[in-house]
A and B are shown apart, each in its own frame.
Chain A
Amino acid sequence: MTWLLVLAGGMVGAPMRYLTDRAVQARHDTIFPWGTLTVNVVDCLILGVVAGATIHGAAPASGQALVGTDFCGALTTYSTFSYETLRLAETGSRFLAAANVIASVVASLGAGFIGAAVVGAVWA
């Protein structure tokens, strides 16, 4: 059963990432990969909330399995992030490449921490 949920999560998460990326990329002219950054940060916030809710007993552990690993996992991506960073570095935008790495790591971790902390503050 879990395998089917994982499959379903991946089949919903990946197209949502694709759509979000296209929508974000269509709204600016820069070469900076805002689309992937947005998807990764927003989804880390969601997963932070889910993880926090599971820890504080506000959500069942199965919720963590479904929303956490499957849906959120397929929604975010490390491969696209690293490839886009490589492209920026190769095309001479070393500053943007470095900015992408730092912004992605800091903002995603920050979003994860904030999501978990907010849920903790509400339920604890």
Chain B
Amino acid sequence: MPSPPASPCSDGDAAPSRTSRRHRARTAREQAPVFAAVAVGGGIGAVARYAAGVTWPTYAGAFPWTTLAINGVGCAVIGVFMVLITDVWTPHRLVRPFFGTGVLGGFTTFSTYAIKVQRSVDEGHALLGLTYMMTTPLVALAAVWSSAAVTRRLLMTRRSSP
């Protein structure tokens, strides 16, 4: 997700140290709720991912369907979410850090994907690892593209109808 615009206080090089200290304190005060929102969201996302892993475990040598599904679902949801908050609804400033960066970021995972490919190859299932390596980015990109496109289409239909 693109970073939020830099704080107007951040280019205070020429300012006296007292002012910049005050600016820093103000930036920290403004950032604290964002940081907390990302943390709480990240905790929820990670727990949801762990719950999915416990509910649908995949064993060594089997295709990691659960991680693939987690990443696919997370990418589909972020497509809908980003279209909604950019085109339709101006949410509270903590909604995007909480849900986009925190919940969805904590739910989806790149490292588990990479390590499952590595494990598969290491354990002699090179073809499985290769298939998984290729499918995940395809599923993820197809999910985010189609969910964003469908959401935009639905919004257009709703707007054009009386």
Complex partner residue of B118 from A72, A76, A77, A113, CB under 8 angstroms? A113
Max chain B Cβ within 10 angstroms of own Cβ: one of A3, A51, A76, A77: A77
Is the beta-carbon distance between A78 and B45 smaller than 8 angstroms? no
Seen from chain B, the residues whose Cβ lies within 8 Å of a Cβ on chain A are 1-4, 6, 10, 34-35, 38-47, 49-50, 53, 71, 74-75, 77-79, 82, 97, 100-102, 104-115, 117-119, 121-122, 133, 136-137, 140-141, 143-145, 148
Is the beta-carbon distance between A112 and B44 smaller than 8 angstroms? no
Given contacts A104-B110, A108-B110, contact A44 B115 (CB under 8 A): yes
| A109 CB–B CB distance under 8 Å | yes
Max chain B Cβ within 10 angstroms of own Cβ: one of A9, A17, A74, A80: A74
| A62 CB–B CB distance under 8 Å | no
Smallest CB–CB gap between A107 and chain B, Å?
9
- CB nearest to B49 among chain A residues: A73
Smallest CB–CB gap between B44 and chain A, Å?
7
- CB nearest to A72 among chain B residues: B111
Is the beta-carbon distance between A13 and B46 smaller than 8 angstroms? yes
Is the beta-carbon distance between B41 and A14 smaller than 8 angstroms? yes
User: Digit string of A75-86 for contact with B (CB within 8 Å is 1, else 0)?
Assistant: 111111111111
Interface positions of A from 2 to 53, Cβ below 8 Å from B: 2-3, 6-15, 17-18, 21-22, 25-26, 33, 35-36, 40, 43-44, 46-48, 51
Is the beta-carbon distance between A40 and B141 smaller than 8 angstroms? no
Is the beta-carbon distance between B114 and A44 smaller than 8 angstroms? yes
- CB nearest to A87 among chain B residues: B2
Question: What total of chain A residues lie within 8 Å of the partner, measured CB to CB?
Answer: 57
Q: Which residues of A contact B82 (CB under 8 A)?
A: 83
Complex partner residue of B114 from A82, A87, A111, CB under 8 angstroms? A111
| A93 CB–B CB distance under 8 Å | no
Q: Which residues of A contact B97 (CB under 8 A)?
A: 18
Given contacts A3-B50, A83-B79, contact A75 B133 (CB under 8 A): no
Can you add 8 more A-B contacts, CB < 8 Å, to A6-B47, A86-B141? A14-B105, A15-B39, A72-B112, A74-B49, A78-B140, A79-B77, A82-B144, A108-B110
Is the beta-carbon distance between A48 and B115 smaller than 8 angstroms? yes
Smallest CB–CB gap between B94 and chain A, Å?
13
Is the beta-carbon distance between B78 and A15 smaller than 8 angstroms? no
Smallest CB–CB gap between B99 and chain A, Å?
10
